[in-house]
Every structure is written in structure tokens, then in C-alpha cells.
Amino acid sequence: MGASISPPAGACLVTGCAGFVGGHLTEALLALGAEVVGVDNLSSGRRENMEGFLNHPKFHFLKRDILETDWLDEARRTLPYFRCVFHLAAVVSVAYSMNHETETLETNYKASIELYNQTVNDGARSFVFAGSAAEYGDEACLPIKEEYADNRTIQLSPYGRSKYLASRHIIEAGVGCSLRCFNIYGPRQDPSSPYSGVISRFLLQAARQESLTILGAGDQTRDFIYVSDVVRAYLLAAGLGPAADKPLVGAFNVGSGGRLSIQELASAVNKITGNPAGMTHLPPRPGDVLHSLADVSKLERATGFKTQTTLETGLKETWRAQGSPGE
């Protein structure tokens, strides 16, 4: 996407700028000529994710926690008005949220709606919230449509619940949007935790020439989407797409609209990486949903969005960037 055909991004606020998606998004905004205040407490975000732009003249980094009361004042002292707000800072681990419900709700819900209310009140032109597929709980009816998450939905974790509550506030307020991303993967996704995204874990195992650990039979399916496609969806959602459309209002799924079994994924990873170690089946993860697939027609209708990166290309790009430990 060239800067010449997109509208000026102006002043942007990105919370969670050192996260996996936040880092890629910040990079894209700076490439569009935006001036960006990035906020991150570096609890799950990593400084390495900001390496490409930390010294950019139009980037201002605040190492702050969004639960602190005065962080937004400091951001406003840096740039007085934010045209676009991208809110990705969150408790991001579903597993962690299970034992930290209050902290998860305070961060992902309460702090989110405070930021929303204040910046929309300040006149922000767009507010894009990082919602989640976890808002749908264990939804059996596929593909999953946005309206399936409602007050009767039982989310499987405080993480999913907190994201739903914040999305609902934004939908009801009628300004800005929540992007419910499905399984995102790509360069710089942290593979180090057992709860990291399966693609980052498989690529790390392949780099070490270990067998890929399939949890359960491997017939569970997911809708994988490459991070640069997700970034494009964020820009479109803020009205920063090439067609200079209006910012989106409401909730929108962000996925590929296709699904792949974990067994098929493991085969693809071993093929692309030349990993000779094969696969091992371990017991399934408790609470794992069997199938997940986004209905992406709402975003497509609103913005013309279509993914551009195939799984094969995305895996190759991620492998190239992540590489083997010896590289």
C-alpha cells in the first residue's frame, strides 16, 4: 500500500505498540507518514518488536501501563490531539487471564472504555479496538458471524469476556469499531510460551529440528491470517485505506475465511522448513475449541478487504524472518 494513494494518517495513538500486531501496525503507520505516540508497559510486548522504528523521528514511545491514571495526559502532552486511536494494549494471555480475572477485566475492559470515552470525546476521527475471536466462546455454528456474540454468549475465559464487554461498549456508543481477529501469525510472534500461537511454536520446533507437538488428534481447524493482512484491516478500519473510506463502525471479523487442520498445518511447516523430525501427538489442551472459522463478508462488504497473503507465502515469510537458531 503506497503512502501516495492513502489519506494522511496524521497523529495516531497506538497502545500495545511493542506487541506482535502493535509493532507491525506502528511500522505501517509511520510508513504512511503518521506521527505516532506508542504506549506499552513491556509486560508482554518486547522492545525488539520496536527495533525498526524506535528511533524514527515521528515516533514517540511512552513506557506506561494503561491502568495508570495519568498516562493519557502524558500522551496528550506529547501530541495534543489524536486523529486515529488504535487500542491493542491488553492482558493478552488467555491462560493468564484464567487466574487473573480482576486484572484482566480492569485492563481489557475498564481501561479500554475509559480510553475510548476520553479520546472520542476529544474528537478522535477513528477508534479501532483489538477485539478477539475469543468473544464468541465455543461457537458451533460456522462460519462465525459478528452477531453471534451477544449477551447470552458464554466466553471461555476472562480474556474473551473482557474483550466482548469492551467491544459491546464501542458498538453501542456508535463510533469506532472492534476488530475480532482470528488466528494471527507472522514474523515477531513470540514462540516462547506453551500458549503462544501454534505457528510460532511449530516454526521454533522446526528450527530446532524437533518433532512438532500436535495437541490431540490434529483434526481441529483454525482460520489463520497473516499479520500484514491484519495490519491492512486496521488501516482500512481507521479510514486510512487507499480508497480513503470512512472509519468503520461496529464489530468486524478479521480472518481469511478459510480453515486448516492442525495436522495439515504441521505437514506444511515440515515441508517448508525441511524439518525431518515429523510430528508427535500429545493429549489435547483442556478447553480447546474444535473448529473456528470467520465469516469475513461484513468487512469485505464495508471495505473490499480480502487477504493478500496465502498460508504458504506467510509461512515462508515467517520462517525466513524467524529462521533457525544458528542463523
Under the binding rule (CB under 6 A), the answer on residue 188 touching ligand UD1 is no
Which of 31, 42, 54, 94 is close enough to bind ligand UD1 by CB under 6 A?
94
CB 216 within 8 Å of CB 288: yes
Minimum Å distance from CB 102 to ligand UD1?
19
Q: Which long-range contacts (CB under 8 A, 24 or more apart) does 116-119 make?
A: 116/85, 116/87, 116/166, 116/169, 116/170, 116/173, 116/176, 118/72, 119/13, 119/72, 119/82, 119/85
Per-residue x/- track, 45-64, ligand UD1 (CB under 6 A)? --------------------
Q: Among residues 24, 83, 201, 298, which is the contact residue for ligand UD1, using CB under 6 A?
A: 201
Taken in order 25, 30, 36, 38, is the CA torsion positive or negative? positive
Nearer to ligand UD1, 67 or 94 (CB): 94
Q: DSSP for 280-313, please give it.
A: EEEPPPTT--SB--B--HHHHHHH-------HHH
Q: Which candidate, 118, 48, 126, places its Cα nearest to that of 83?
A: 126
Single out the residue of 310, 314, 318, 288 nearest to residue 206, CA to CA: 318
DSSP-derived letter for residue 136 is: G
Contacts with ligand UD1, 257-276, as mask; x by CB under 6 A: -----x--------------
Nearer to ligand UD1, 34 or 179 (CB): 179
Closest CB to ligand UD1 among residues 285, 301: 285
For the CB of residue 198, give the shortest distance to ligand UD1 in the complex, in Å.
4
Of 88, 149, 171, 198, the one binding ligand UD1 (CB under 6 A) is 198
Do residues 250 and 128 touch, judged by C-beta distance below 8 A?
Answer: no
Which part of the chain contacts ligand UD1 (CB under 6 A), choosing from 47-55, 130-138, 242-250, 316-324? 130-138
Question: Which of the stretches 59-67, 70-78, 215-223, 240-248 binds ligand UD1 when contact is defined by CB under 6 A?
Answer: 215-223
Q: What's the sign of the alpha-carbon dihedral 312, 315, 320, 321?
A: positive
Contact 7, 244 (CB under 8 A): yes
Closest CA to 119 of 247, 30, 231: 247
246 touches ligand UD1 by CB under 6 A: no
d(CA 112, CA 152): 22
Nearest-approach distance from CB 200 to ligand UD1, in angstroms: 8
Position among 84, 124, 134, 299 found at the interface with ligand UD1 (CB under 6 A): 134
Region from 26-34, 119-127, 211-219, 237-245 binding ligand UD1, contact rule CB under 6 A: 211-219
Candidates 197, 247, 257, 314; binder of ligand UD1 (CB under 6 A) is 197
Q: Grid coordinates 492442525 are at which residue?
A: 262
Binding site residues, ligand UD1, CB under 6 A: 94, 132-134, 160, 183, 197-198, 201, 213-215, 220, 222, 262, 285, 288, 292
